[in-house]
């Protein structure tokens, strides 16, 4: 009888221990395992693609610069000075290439005191061909030029010019640029003098 009571006690103890172990295991597991945080996804910043620049349109503006004039005869090497002018034109953007035409009138403060010769003005009819480099437009140019002088040779003569320049788009409508041009006037005004002139100009234009 004692053995039966002992077996009953042992069985009760074993059942109680198993129940306690079952109840304790979730608590232990909860105490040992930390909750896994949700992964944080960093926002992706998307930079908008730059918009292509369209150079098509009419424009007009002004310039200021420096000119140097030499001649094959009585004109000396000291004819140089301030230049200033106005211009107007049109450009058409074909994609990589930009073609255009322009009219320009340039006045000057260039004189040769030795022979009392004044370089009054140069009028130009230009053709331009440029490369669309975004906000920059490098170009080559050339065309017809007419030189007018006063003083010892009070006349005008025809010639040609060629050169290069660059425009930079400051805003949708404002352009700034620089240009260097070489002019040739052979047998100027029937005088037998060949006149060469180099001009350097800074330009500001407004495009419509």
Residue 56 has pLDDT above 80, yes or no: yes
Report the alpha-carbon distance of residue 152 to residue 111 in Å, rounded. 11
Query: In terms of pLDDT, which residue wins out, 18 or 200?
Result: 200
Domain ranges of the chain: 57-207
**pTM for the model:** 0.74
Q: What are phi and psi of 191, to 5 degrees?
A: -85, -10
* Mean per-residue pLDDT of the chain: 84
CATH (residue range 57-207): 2.40.160.20
Quick: pLDDT tens for 110-169: 988 777 889 999 999 999 999 999 999 999 999 999 999 998 889 999 999 999 999 999
What Rg value do the Cα atoms of the chain yield, rounded? 43
Q: Residues for the chain: how many in total?
A: 208
């Amino acid at each position: 009888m004692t053995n039966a009571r002992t077996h009953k006690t042992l069985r009760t103890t074993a059942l109680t221990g198993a129940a306690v172990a079952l109840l304790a295991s979730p608590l232990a597991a909860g105490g040992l395992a930390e909750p896994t945080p949700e992964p944080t996804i960093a926002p992706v910043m998307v930079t908008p693609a730059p918009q292509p620049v369209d150079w098509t349109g009419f424009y007009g503006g002004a310039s200021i610069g420096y000119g140097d004039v030499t001649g094959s005869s009585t004109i000396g090497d000291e004819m140089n000075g301030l230049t200033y002018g106005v211009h107007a034109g049109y450009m058409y953007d074909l994609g990589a290439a930009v073609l255009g035409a322009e009219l320009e009138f340039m006045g000057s403060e260039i004189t040769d005191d030795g022979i009392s010769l004044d370089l009054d003005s140069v009028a130009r009819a230009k053709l331009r061909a440029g490369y669309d480099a975004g906000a920059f437009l490098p170009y080559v140019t050339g065309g017809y030029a007419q030189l007018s002088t006063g003083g010892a040779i009070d006349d005008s003569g025809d010639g040609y010019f060629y050169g290069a320049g660059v425009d930079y788009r400051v805003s949708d409508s404002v352009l700034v640029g620089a240009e260097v041009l070489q002019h040739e006037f052979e047998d100027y005004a029937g005088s037998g003098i060949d006149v060469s002139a180099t001009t350097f100009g800074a330009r500001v234009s407004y495009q419509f």
